[in-house]
Amino acid sequence: MLDRREFLRKAGLGSMGIITLSSFDIPEMIRERELFCLTIAHTNDMHSHVDPFPPDHSKYPGMGGMARRLSLIRELRDKNPHLLLLDSGDIFQGTPYFNFYGGEVEFRLMSEMGYDCATMGNHDFDNGLEGFDKMLPYASFPFVTSNYDFSDTVLAGKTHRFKTFQRGPIKIGIFGIGIQLDGLVSKPLYGNTIHKEEVKTANEIALELKELDCDFIICLSHLGFSYSDGKISDQILARETKNIDLILGGHTHTFLDQPVAIGNLDDKPVIINQVGWAGLVVGKLDFYFDKSLKNKWCKQTATLPVKTVPKK
Amino acid sequence: MKDAISLLVLTIVLLASVGCANYKIIKFTGTNTSVSGEYKAHSDAEEITTMYRKAIDSVMNEQIGTTAHTLTKGNPEGRLGNFCSDAVFEQSLLWQKKNGMLEKVKLDFALLNNGGLRVPLDSGRITIGNIYELMPFENEIVFVEISGKQMNELMDYIHKRTTLSGRKSGVPVSKNFELQLDTINQLNYCQINDQQFDANQSYTIATSDYLANGGDQMAFFTNPIAITYTGIKIRDAFIESIRELGRKGQVVDAKLDGRIGYVR
């Protein structure tokens, strides 16, 4: 298997840590072989933005809206029925829809869109664990909260350490890593929730998923993209773990122009993406799998660069 | 954001290097797509939303008052923070009166955080909807009694949040709390209800439960002498204060009065 350094060399790592992939040949090879495309669509920090921003909004005039997102998702699903639709938390809080109905509208619309899985952000605790619990009947999708131990709370047994999904021939494992609640959320709201260390938990669960024969492992994270003070973030999580293929982040409301790739403990690339907030942007990631390529790698065509973040 | 708004397609080849058990990823493309008017609002979603939206709109569009100025956050003080913390203090006193608590707890002043005030109040008519945008959180007013030592930490916090590079958010306080900052000698001169601050005394502050629990790094609140939960939502305190002015035929006219300033 190609290691990351070799990957970067082959890909032609330019200065500034930007990979420019150019002029690989044989796109026909893709066509000849039978490929499986897994499409992952995702959101984060929708913050109860059910309706689009008003037309006179200073930053995002007329943008967003869950009814439009439904059209977009239906379009994606028409193109590729093997779609996974995921959310990285902070579904709640930000518009009167939440103040009045406590998340009922958001969950009902997400269910209509066919979300497959989500994790909890700090604002999903805003009406307390009871407030979240009361809304669960409106959500047709599961929550993965791998590093929150809810066993001594009303949410005991109602969220999952991880979930696995089958899409075509591919088995996907999904788990969730949440942010430290202490100092961020009022203690009475999260009650007896125990927050477990992020990197250790992520490594444990990713390994468990690998041993369950998952082909692709996704971490839904509400840690934030990166911090200047070295606080745990998606970038650190990617670097300090193994077996994770993709981190879909949230919390910092980061509008990434494009996904980034970071080398993990095994020097294998981990893709990280985050799409701002308020349902303004939907991320869509297509992964093409090929069984015949076992133990091989193959030159393929690339059209645009991917930004990588240099290892510290 | 501009870049993120535009449709961006990215194609890279991972050269079979993403670790998966049986299948190799040979190609990856990522597209972050803006949810714009290009996508029509789907009727299946509209059907769900309409009933909720109508009920909300009927409440939100009610005008409760008028403001003479656009109220914005500021540092060391802002019209928005001054209005909001004064409103919390006044409504706290009213609540005490109603509940026969005036004697039991002697409130000294109110303190909020600018991070919790989400949008400015534009000059002109104020609707309930505007106040929900300003204060979307369900936080309630609590009274926190802290020691003179903790009060010193509170003042240091305000000092930092007013002057420290990169952290300058300003801290909204009610008008009965006056603080003059000596930035050269790192000293604070404080008067509370026209009395010199006394480090041997305890003080009781009306604030939000979020801050009382140490939110926005207000560690000085986390080990209080006493705490009283009022159940008054901060948002309702704002709404009540504005309504009250309206009933008196007055407009919201928050002023900058130098409650937090610098020693000359």
> What is the reported pLDDT for A13?
33
> What is the reported pLDDT for B23?
67
Angstroms from B133 CA to nearest CA on chain A: 7
Q: Where are the alpha helices (DSSP H) in chain B?
A: 2-5, 43-60, 79-98, 128-134, 148-163, 209-212, 234-247
Total domains present in chain A: 1
> What is the reported pLDDT for A291?
66
Strands (E), A107-214: 117-118, 148-149, 162-167, 170-177, 194-195
Residue B243 confidence (pLDDT) above 80:
yes
> What is the reported pLDDT for B18?
43
Q: Is residue A108 part of a domain?
A: yes
Residue A70: list chain B partners with CB under 8 A.
42, 44-45
Q: Contact B191/B103 with Cβ under 8 angstroms?
A: no
Q: Is residue B180 part of a domain?
A: yes
| For residues B220-238, average pLDDT | 95
Q: Which residues of B135-153 are buried (b: 16+ CB within 10 A; e: fewer)?
A: bbbbbbbbbbbbbeebbbe
Domain that holds residue B115: 52-262
A122: CB partners within 8 A, 6+ apart: A89, A90, A178, A179, A181, A184, A185, A222, A251
The minimal CB distance from B24 to the residues A99, A289, A302 is found for A289
pLDDT more than 70, % of chain A: 82
Angstroms from A242 CA to nearest CA on chain B: 9
The minimal CB distance from A68 to the residues B5, B35, B52 is found for B35
Q: Contact A114/A74 with Cβ under 8 angstroms?
A: no
A267 touches chain B (CB under 8 A): no
Domain that holds residue A63: 4-307
Q: Is residue A312 part of a domain?
A: no
> What is the reported pLDDT for A290?
76
d(CA B89, CA B238): 10
Q: Contact B14/B23 with Cβ under 8 angstroms?
A: no
Read off φ and ψ for residue A113, nearest 5 degrees. Answer: -75, -15
> What is the reported pLDDT for A15?
30
d(CA B142, CA B208): 6
Q: Indicate yes or no: CB of B28 within 8 angstroms of CB of A112.
A: no
Who has greater pLDDT, A28 or A69?
A69
Total domains present in chain B: 1
Q: Is residue B24 part of a domain?
A: no
Q: What is the mean pLDDT of chain B?
A: 90
Residue A24 confidence (pLDDT) above 70:
no
Q: Indicate yes or no: CB of B16 within 8 angstroms of CB of A297.
A: yes
Residue A16's pLDDT band, with cuts at 50, 70 and 90, is very low
Residue A305 confidence (pLDDT) above 70:
no
Nearest residue in A to B136, CA atom: A94
Q: Are strands B203-208 and B140-146 parallel, antiparallel or unpaired?
A: antiparallel
> What is the reported pLDDT for A22?
30
Q: Contact A306/B10 with Cβ under 8 angstroms?
A: yes
Strand, coil or helix: A51: coil
| For residues B240-248, average pLDDT | 95
Strand, coil or helix: A97: helix
Q: What is the pLDDT of residues A86-118, one digit of tens each?
A: 999 999 998 899 999 999 999 999 999 999 999
Nearest residue in B to A105, CA atom: B49
Matching residue, tokens 């303190």: B111
Residue B137's pLDDT band, with cuts at 50, 70 and 90, is confident
Q: Is residue B21 part of a domain?
A: no
Q: What is the pLDDT of residues A147-177, one digit of tens each?
A: 999 999 999 999 999 999 999 889 999 999 9
Read off φ and ψ for residue A268, nearest 5 degrees. Answer: -100, 145
ipTM value, please give it. 0.84
d(CA B131, CA A10): 56
| For residues A260-269, average pLDDT | 91
d(CA B256, CA B12): 55
The minimal CB distance from B36 to the residues A1, A63, A291 is found for A63
Q: Is residue A121 part of a domain?
A: yes
Q: Is residue B13 part of a domain?
A: no
Residue A27 confidence (pLDDT) above 50:
no
Q: Is residue B168 part of a domain?
A: yes
> What is the reported pLDDT for A98?
95
How many other β-carbons are positioned within 10 Å of the β-carbon of residue B189? Answer: 14
Tokens of A218: 């996704």
Top residue of A166, A231, A280 to mutate, by most chain B CBs within 10 Å, is A280
Q: Contact A200/A175 with Cβ under 8 angstroms?
A: no
| For residues B236-258, average pLDDT | 95
How many other β-carbons are positioned within 10 Å of the β-carbon of residue B165? Answer: 5
C-alpha closest to that of A170 among A40, A261, A43: A40
Q: Is residue A198 part of a domain?
A: yes
Residue B134's domain is classified under what CATH number? Answer: 3.90.780.10
Q: Is residue A284 part of a domain?
A: yes
Q: Indicate yes or no: CB of A215 within 8 angstroms of CB of B45.
A: no
Q: Indicate yes or no: CB of A276 within 8 angstroms of CB of B4.
A: yes
A155 touches chain B (CB under 8 A): no
Task: Return the amino acid letter for A294.
Answer: K
Residue A275: list chain B partners with CB under 8 A.
4, 32
Residue A17 confidence (pLDDT) above 70:
no
Share in percent of chain B as helix, strand, coil (round to 5):
35, 25, 40
d(CA A179, CA A221): 8
Who has greater pLDDT, A295 or B222?
B222
Q: Contact A281/A53 with Cβ under 8 angstroms?
A: no
Name the pTM for this structure: 0.76
d(CA B209, CA B230): 10
Q: Contact A151/A191 with Cβ under 8 angstroms?
A: no
Read off φ and ψ for residue B247, nearest 5 degrees. Answer: -60, -35
A156 touches chain B (CB under 8 A): no
- B105 φ/ψ sector (left φ>0, alpha ψ -120 to 50, else beta): beta
Residue A262's pLDDT band, with cuts at 50, 70 and 90, is very high
Residue A185's pLDDT band, with cuts at 50, 70 and 90, is confident
Residue A271's domain is classified under what CATH number? Answer: 3.60.21.10
Q: Where are the alpha helices (DSSP H) in A137-197?
A: 187-190
> What is the reported pLDDT for A135?
98
Residue B160 confidence (pLDDT) above 80:
yes
Q: Is residue B199 part of a domain?
A: yes
| For residues A119-136, average pLDDT | 97
Q: Contact A83/A39 with Cβ under 8 angstroms?
A: yes
Residue A191 confidence (pLDDT) above 50:
yes
| For residues A195-208, average pLDDT | 98
d(CA A93, CA A127): 9
Residue A71 confidence (pLDDT) above 50:
yes
Q: Are strands A148-149 and A194-195 parallel, antiparallel or unpaired?
A: antiparallel
Q: Indicate yes or no: CB of B56 within 8 angstroms of CB of A285.
A: no
C-alpha closest to that of B178 among B164, B169, B187, B189: B189
Q: Cα B218 vs. chain centroid, distance in angstroms?
A: 13
Residue A93: list chain B partners with CB under 8 A.
136-137
Residue A289 confidence (pLDDT) above 50:
yes
B171: CB partners within 8 A, 6+ apart: B81, B111, B112, B113, B114, B157, B158, B161, B162, B260
> What is the reported pLDDT for A33?
59
